[in-house]
Chains A and B, each alone.
Chain A
């Protein structure tokens, strides 16, 4: 069964068509990459999928349910979480709190319950505490749990953002340029981490990436976007030898 189904997704800003008739099918356990030159519309696709933008036309179905037009928080609650290209952590909060906040929508106690400090509050808070620590340990961030997020090294911040997205309990994970700003060594670590996380949490992953080594090493399938149009789709090997893709990246003369 396909988890995420996108049909004819088009996004226009005024007269500018950022994405045109984009289509995608994500099956359970897939790991699919979206590449393309700068300004090709990759992040726009992400923003449409996660509800940050309302698409001009087209259909997006998550678990066979229409999600275009829903708010971002509703989509997250349905089971699709994301990270951002330019890391959006809660910078002045601790590593621990960054994760803990992502458990918010999974709590059941009401505001009145919190105000009166009823037993439900304590037990659920304790549960979240345990889950947060567990996640921190899995991501090897436990020792930094009391550190302010913005004090972490860049690579750790990326890791924390992925951990935070996982706290929202997704089945589909969208990663927007997870390797941006990383050196080759860090990228290699990240590639392993993504593969491992995907297996550990049984995720379906859709990612945007510029780093070809990461994309080629990780993805089973790759889509190439240029000026909002999908110019190619296929396995890493097919994409590497695709004439249109090379043209889009290097220009016609390069051939």
Chain B
């Protein structure tokens, strides 16, 4: 109902509004790039922006698993840790080129995702959440006890290879890849699994294969994000990848909207910058942050964007191939459908 009201309120202007927002966002992105390039944005703020890019990668990739495929995973920090440590060690011990290190970090995380996914994806809902949570904890405990990872002392002296621009490029590639997956028959198979697994199977979709695939791809990008993180912080220890971290990523995804890439991007930016912006409030900062989260969930339980994307508001995307005139109908139907 709320969605319908929104449509009525903005109705004919919605598409125009969406274009204005999109253009402003593009200009903003350009301005930030210029600002970082010629040093107008200081070192500290650039660091925050790098974290924002990393959080975008984490959120968009987790959304593929939790939002589009509907498999509730709480193990994203575990995959991030794998990527961070693998890449950190490769850089320290072998000093391989950064892009190669990123790709290997992603591949190894994907492989572990495959091994974890095969048995655990038979579980549903809460059970899968607990199993993936267990995985995250196992990774943390292993890292805490291995000699090569430095145990609880952590791994230091990783070359600071992550820049604002490298993080940006990787994040944009992630967004493009995952968007293209979601907007294909393969992506529709994932959404079918989320909607009704038994019906999806009855329609000829190999649900096990697709669930494991989504899980591994999600894990790969979490690993890459971890690698960027390691080469940004220059020092990592197991405490960077606790259960708390998985929850933080999940909050971003839920807040942005399970099943909306646009939502994950926006929420990742907002939730990275918000705590920094609230820094002036000192000890009340986390209280305000929590209240904002609770408030948002009460007003929009489906998340900021529900399952919609920027493209839907701009008037193309899913409607692209439809005949003229039906675009508006789709928009109003979507408005009524986002429960």
Instruction: Name A's B-contacting residues (CB within 8 A).
Output: 50, 52, 71-73, 76-77, 81-82, 84, 88-94, 97, 100-105, 107, 109, 111, 114-117, 121, 124-126, 128-129, 146-148, 151, 164, 167-168
Contacts and interface: CB of A to CB of B under 8 A. Distances in A.
Given A111-B186, A114-B186, A90 B204 contact: no
A52 B198 contact: yes
A89 B337 contact: no
Interface string B284-322: 000000000000000000000001000000000000011
B7 interface: no
Contacts of B188: 97, 100-101, 104
A114 B195 contact: no
B244 interface: no
A71 B195 contact: no
Contacts of B207: 73
B273 to A, nearest CB: 30
B276 interface: no
B181 A146 contact: no
Q: Which 8 pairs between the two chains have the least Cβ-Cβ distance?
A: A114-B184, A105-B204, A90-B195, A76-B204, A88-B199, A148-B337, A72-B201, A102-B203
B196 interface: yes
B191 interface: yes
Interface string B321-339: 1100010011001001101
Given A111-B186, A111-B213, A90 B196 contact: yes
B185 A103 contact: yes
A53 B222 CA distance: 36
Contact of B201 (A71, A91, A107): A71
B16 interface: no
Given A90-B199, A121-B184, 11 more contacts: A52-B198, A73-B202, A73-B205, A84-B198, A93-B195, A94-B333, A102-B203, A104-B189, A109-B185, A125-B184, A151-B336
A129 B321 contact: yes
A107 to B, nearest CB: 5
Contacts of A126: 321
A50 B191 contact: no
A107 B185 CA distance: 8
B200 interface: yes
Contacts of A101: 185, 188-189, 191-192, 200, 203, 205
Nearest to B217: A111
Contact of A93 (B185, B191, B329, B339): B191
Interface in B263-288: none
B322 A114 contact: no
A129 B189 CA distance: 16
Contacts of B321: 125-126, 129
Nearest to A79: B204
A129 B323 CA distance: 12
A168 B203 contact: yes
B177 interface: yes
A127 to B, nearest CB: 11
Interface residues of B, number: 34
Nearest to B337: A148
A116 B191 CA distance: 20
A189 B53 CA distance: 56
A164 B191 contact: no
B206 interface: yes
B145 interface: no
B180 A92 contact: no
B165 to A, nearest CB: 23
Contacts of A121: 184
A126 B321 CA distance: 8
B333 A147 contact: yes
A73 B329 contact: no
B177 A72 contact: no
Nearest to B201: A72
A81 B202 CA distance: 7
A125 B333 contact: no
Nearest to B333: A146
A128 B336 CA distance: 27
6 contacts: A81-B204, A84-B199, A90-B192, A102-B203, A104-B185, A117-B180
B299 to A, nearest CB: 20
A105 B205 contact: yes
Given A115-B177, A129-B321, A77 B204 contact: yes
B337 A92 contact: yes
Nearest to A129: B321
Contacts of A168: 203-204
Nearest to A113: B184
Given A147-B333, A148-B336, A114 B185 contact: yes
Interface in B172-192: 177, 180-181, 184-189, 191-192
Contacts of A117: 180
B63 to A, nearest CB: 16
Contacts of B206: 71, 73
Contact of A88 (B185, B196, B204, B322): B196
A151 B177 CA distance: 33
